[in-house]
Structure 1
Amino acid sequence: MVIGIGGPSRSGKSTLANLLVTYFRKNGKKAIIFHQDDFVFPETQIPKVRDKTDWESPASIDHELLLEVVTDFKHRFDVVIVEGFFAFFDPKLNSLYEKRLFIKISKRTFIIRKAMDSRWGYIPTWYIDHIWKSYLKLGKPSIIKSDYLIASGEDEFDMKKILGYLEK
């Protein structure tokens, strides 16, 4: 099974991916996660916005390499999980998913979590706004079909609901 997990920055995509891979491994499945952030181009090749690297651009991700890796690993693992801001952006990668999880959070929750995120140092307010606008424009699927489960990232995940969706 190939699972795609998408949603805005700081919504819990990595947390959910880790919970799922742990669950599947405890149940005897070979499971692996691919974080889209591990497939970014070198910073010099990424577009800029106001002289700041635009990590929220689809052009920041090597979609072809990610597709190649997922295609290879889906034959070697029982469960392959791909998580990222642009998890549903590339049609070829999106077509590999057998299950799609989209995590929603409010703009308020996003702003609070992003303001507490010190991994990259100070983030200007205008760039936080840019991240949210990029998510609205490019990060969410253009059409949420019935083959997506929408999960709330506001609090703890409803794992019973998520696992029920994945196991049917």
Structure 2
Amino acid sequence: MAISKSQKALIISLSGPSSSGKTTLARLLRDLLPNNNNTFILHQDDFYHPESHLPLRAGHKDWDCPASLDLPALTKALQHIKSTEFIPILSQIDIKLFLLASESAAIARRKARDGYVTLEGFWKDPEGYVEEVVWPNYVEQHSYLFEGGM
């Protein structure tokens, strides 16, 4: 899927807590954008370190902290898309959208999932994982965005 020289790559970043609707919105945007033959979704989930290298939180593998991501590989992918020299990840993104979900909605959606395919197999959230790892990471990493915290 090459971008012609007359087209400039447009990178849209969708952020929000786990199960807030990012993938659903990404698919909708892909379908709505003109020339969607040149539109594709790059998932942050595709850039996790192998499970064996993940940090622990509350006794669980922590897929939801910044250290779980291979940020250099994600940056390299964005660079390739933009065909530019090295620029930090946020500088590569043209449009940034942040989705909101209440704690109860995010937890219910996450628990409704069957699991996730990983580099090393299949991951199913252990009991208490969302409450002890996913949501606390979201609050710690994003509370600065909200007046008075979250």
For Structure 1 versus Structure 2, the TM-score category normalised by the shorter chain is 0.7 to 0.9
The superposition leaves residues 98-142 of structure 1 with CA deviations (integer Å, 9 ceiling, x where unpaired) of 1111000111111221221221445312x211211100111x384
Would you identify which runs of 4 or more consecutive aligned residues in structure 1 move more than 4 Å?
none
Q: State the aligned residue count.
A: 126
Cα RMSD (Å): 2.2
1:103 to 83, 99, 103: 99
> TM-score with structure 1 length normalisation?
0.67
Provide the rounded CA distance (Å) in 2 between the counterparts of 1:131 and 1:94: 22
Larger radius of gyration: 2
SS of residue matched to 1:67: helix
Relative to structure 1, the CA distance from residue 141 to residue 19 in structure 2 (aligned partners, 3 Å threshold; closer, same or farther) is farther
**1:132 equivalent in alignment to 2:141:** no
Relative to structure 1, the CA distance from residue 114 to residue 31 in structure 2 (aligned partners, 3 Å threshold; closer, same or farther) is same
Structure 2 runs not aligned, ≥5 long: 1-9, 116-122
Percent of residue pairs bearing the same amino acid type: 31
Provide the rounded CA distance (Å) in 2 between the counterparts of 1:28 and 1:55: 34
- The structure that is strand-richer by fraction is 1
2:62 to 48, 54, 67: 54
> TM-score with structure 2 length normalisation?
0.74
In the alignment, what sits opposite 2:119? none
In the alignment, what sits opposite 1:72? 80
Provide the rounded CA distance (Å) in 1 between the counterparts of 2:51 and 2:111: 23
In the alignment, what sits opposite 1:28? 35
Provide the rounded CA distance (Å) in 2 between the counterparts of 1:12 and 1:59: 23
In the alignment, what sits opposite 2:25? 16
Relative to structure 1, the CA distance from residue 122 to residue 59 in structure 2 (aligned partners, 3 Å threshold; closer, same or farther) is closer
Provide the rounded CA distance (Å) in 1 between the counterparts of 2:143 and 2:30: 23
Structure 1 runs not aligned, ≥5 long: 77-90, 145-168
